[in-house]
């Protein structure tokens, strides 16, 4: 971090990890935003955005004197999460979404685990985070990986049989 950014901004480094969680919720929020626009229901999008903005300011005002700069990043994550939950339930009035809560819980627990590892200062944290990323990606994409392997195996076997019969 010190190579790219001046030392004056070193206090902001721990905020990056917290804001990554906020980016996850922001991505979901933006997805729902596109659905609101597609169905011409922007009023609900505006309502949830204003709710999130007020919540962000409220949390900042309360906690800034106790936890300092962390209040800004934590309030951002909380407000994006609240907007996400609001839109998740509100959008179902118009579009029936099937949400795999198990996968969502796995993703959230993975991110929380990553944040804990990051802040622990554990020497092998980077290695554990890499292993965790591989594990959760395989777990979440197991059916796709299995299908992909079957397709490759089937095509490889067909080509190898053709090659054997040509000899």
pLDDT digits (tens, 9 = 90+) for 48-57: 999 999 999 9
| Sign of the alpha-carbon torsion through 3, 9, 15, 16 | negative
- The C-alpha atoms of residue 96 and residue 89 are separated, in whole angstroms, by 10
- The C-alpha atoms of residue 167 and residue 162 are separated, in whole angstroms, by 9
Cα separations (Å) of 146 from 36, 106, 143, 156?
35, 19, 5, 15
- Quickly state the pLDDT bin for 161 (edges 50, 70, 90): low
Single pTM value for the model: 0.68
73-110 burial: b if 16+ Cβ within 10 Å, else e = bbbbbbbbbbbbebbeebbeeeeeeeeeeeeeeeeeeb
The residue with greater pLDDT, 46 or 117, is 46
Q: Give me the pLDDT at residue 127, please.
A: 75
- Lowest average pLDDT, out of 95-99, 147-151, 158-162, goes to 158-162
Return the biggest CA–CA distance within the chain: 79
- The C-alpha atoms of residue 100 and residue 139 are separated, in whole angstroms, by 14
Cα separations (Å) of 123 from 3, 32, 126?
20, 39, 8
pLDDT above 90 for 145: no
Q: Give me the pLDDT at residue 10, please.
A: 72
pLDDT above 60 for 157: yes
- Quickly state the pLDDT bin for 58 (edges 50, 70, 90): very high
């Amino acid at each position: 971090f010190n190579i790219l950014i001046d030392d004056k901004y070193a206090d902001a480094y721990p905020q990056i990890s917290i804001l990554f969680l906020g980016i996850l919720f922001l991505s979901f929020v933006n997805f729902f935003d596109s659905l609101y626009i597609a169905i011409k229901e922007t009023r609900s999008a505006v309502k949830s955005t204003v709710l999130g903005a007020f919540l962000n300011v409220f949390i900042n005002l309360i906690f800034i004197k106790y936890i300092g700069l962390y209040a800004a990043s934590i309030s951002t994550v909380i407000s994006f999460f609240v907007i996400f939950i609001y839109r998740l339930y509100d959008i179902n009035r118009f579009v029936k979404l099937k949400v795999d809560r198990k996968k969502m819980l796995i993703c959230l627990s993975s991110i929380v685990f990553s944040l804990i590892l990051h802040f622990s200062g554990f020497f092998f944290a980077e290695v554990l985070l890499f292993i965790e990323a591989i594990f959760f990606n395989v777990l979440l994409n197991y059916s796709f990986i299995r299908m992909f392997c079957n397709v490759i195996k089937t095509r490889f076997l067909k080509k190898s049989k053709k090659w054997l019969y040509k000899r």
